């Protein structure tokens, strides 16, 4: 996947409220997974700085609003989603909840949207960060720690969603139409950036924000064009197993791009689309391996997407995800990327995505609820 080297943080989530702890099913979670999750939560909390950001850097300098440390708001948003996915919300009175509230305030108070609602400029995380922050804000609706944070979050999210919709409408070629890339004005698209925007749109719609049906439909069409399969004269896939590529009609086909395509179509309601069925079949034969590029990014989508697929797909993915992550967790509770550009993303990135990968049975975040 051709992510820019400077974007070291990322390439990552129908109800409008999160499921409660009572509706989660703790009996489905093994003691080993629970222990791994608890250690990861504790480690992430230790990485939080006094201003609220959760990053690998050791400096505790006070950030300046609108000019934040590189990628810090996007990274903090990712960590917050990881914590929330296992039940720690910003309005909880617990130490974990207070840490989440502090993280949410850092993003909401520290990010200064431009006149178009663009969030990715303050910390230079571009459209990756914009999508992740937008998704996080939509998932935190109803769980803000105070009224002022809630009001600003709603205002920021409204502008952020409008920015996503407008940037989708930038004139593009037929292949790139309906997708997104690094900047709001980009005239091309790729699946890694696009998936975050799709997730943000869907989460915002679930939370009651206005999202035109056409925006979702155009995004679905774009993602389906990235599905690399020979089709018949009616446009139907000739194979029942194929992968998604980084860009439509081109680019490498990997487990991470395939898992991203799978989950993004599912959150748009395309549970039985041929592309969903075929990509799940492909992932059964090509599961993630921890030493391959973008493992943590792909594992997150793989775990969630295969869980949505259900049955033997979910069982196989659960076993693979849990065994791989538990064996790779550090003694301190963190995970660290092992391959390629993902190495430079750091341990907060990997640990947040590992938590999201292990959280499929908790159902605390609405975007993952079928």
Q: Where are the domains of the chain?
A: 26-228+333-368
| 3-class secondary-structure state, position 2 | coil
Cα(321)–Cα(338) distance, integer angstroms = 16
Confidence of residue 117 (pLDDT cuts 50, 70, 90): very high
> In this prediction, what percent of the chain has a pLDDT beyond 70?
90
CA-based R_g, the chain, Å: 19
> In this prediction, what percent of the chain has a pLDDT beyond 90?
79
pLDDT given for residue 13 in this prediction? 38
Confidence of residue 302 (pLDDT cuts 50, 70, 90): very high
| 3-class secondary-structure state, position 172 | coil
Averaged confidence pLDDT in the chain: 89
301, 263 Cβ separation under 8 angstroms: yes
Task: Say if residue 262's pLDDT is above 60.
Answer: yes
pLDDT given for residue 235 in this prediction? 86
Confidence of residue 251 (pLDDT cuts 50, 70, 90): confident
Q: What's the whole-number mean pLDDT along residues 155-169?
A: 98
Task: Say if residue 250's pLDDT is above 90.
Answer: no
pLDDT given for residue 21 in this prediction? 35
| 3-class secondary-structure state, position 76 | helix
Which of 5-14, 41-50, 284-293, 305-314 shows the lowest per-residue confidence on average (mean pLDDT)? 5-14
Q: What's the whole-number mean pLDDT along residues 288-317?
A: 93
Strands (DSSP E) along the chain, which ranges? 227-228, 243-247, 250-253
Strands (DSSP E) along 175-301, which ranges? 227-228, 243-247, 250-253
Tokens 């975050």, residue located: 196
26-228+333-368: CATH topology is Glycosyltransferase (1.50.10)
pTM: 0.90
Closest CA to 279 of 235, 317, 233, 319: 317
Q: What's the whole-number mean pLDDT along residues 179-190?
A: 96
Cα(113)–Cα(228) distance, integer angstroms = 37
Q: Cα angle vertex 299, ends 107, 282, to 5°?
A: 140
Structure tokens that stand for 309 in this block: 């697929």
Round to the nearest angstrom and report the end-to-end CA distance of the chain.
28
Q: What's the whole-number mean pLDDT along residues 114-140?
A: 97
Q: Which residues pair with 48 in a beta bridge?
A: 54
């Amino acid at each position: 996947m051709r992510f820019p080297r400077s974007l070291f943080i990322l390439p990552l989530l129908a109800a409008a409220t999160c499921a409660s702890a009572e509706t989660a099913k703790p009996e489905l979670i093994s003691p080993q997974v629970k222990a791994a999750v608890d250690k990861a939560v504790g480690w992430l909390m230790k990485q939080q700085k006094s201003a609220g950001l959760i990053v690998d850097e050791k400096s505790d300098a006070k950030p300046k609003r609108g000019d934040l440390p590189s990628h810090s708001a996007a990274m903090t948003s990712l960590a917050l989603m990881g914590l929330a996915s296992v039940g720690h919300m910003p309005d909880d009175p617990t130490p974990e909840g207070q840490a989440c509230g502090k993280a949410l305030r850092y993003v909401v108070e520290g990010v200064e949207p431009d006149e178009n609602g663009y969030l990715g400029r303050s910390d230079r995380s571009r459209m990756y960060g914009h999508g992740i922050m937008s998704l996080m804000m939509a998932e935190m609706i109803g769980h803000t720690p105070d009224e002022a944070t809630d009001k600003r979050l709603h205002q920021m999210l409204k502008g952020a969603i409008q920015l996503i919709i407008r940037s989708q409408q930038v004139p593009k070629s037929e292949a790139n139409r309906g997708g997104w890339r690094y900047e709001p004005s980009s005239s091309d698209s790729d699946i890694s950036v696009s998936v975050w925007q799709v997730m943000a749109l869907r989460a915002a719609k679930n939370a009651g924000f206005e999202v035109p049906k056409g925006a979702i439909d155009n995004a679905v069409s774009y993602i389906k064009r990235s599905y690399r399969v020979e089709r018949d004269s009616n446009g139907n896939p000739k194979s029942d197993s194929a992968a998604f590529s980084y860009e439509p009609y081109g680019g490498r086909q990997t487990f991470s791009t395939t898992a991203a395509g799978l989950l993004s179509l599912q959150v748009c309601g395309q549970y039985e689309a041929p592309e969903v069925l075929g990509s799940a079949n492909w992932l059964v034969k090509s599961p993630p391996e921890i030493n391959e590029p973008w493992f943590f990014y792909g594992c997150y989508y793989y775990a969630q997407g295969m869980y949505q697929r259900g049955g033997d797909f979910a069982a196989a993915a659960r076993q693979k995800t849990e065994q791989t992550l538990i064996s790779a967790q550090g003694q301190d509770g963190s995970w660290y990327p092992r391959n390629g550009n993902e190495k430079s993303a750091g341990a907060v990135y990997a640990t947040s995505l590992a938590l999201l990968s292990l959280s499929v049975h908790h159902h605390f975040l609405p975007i993952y609820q079928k």
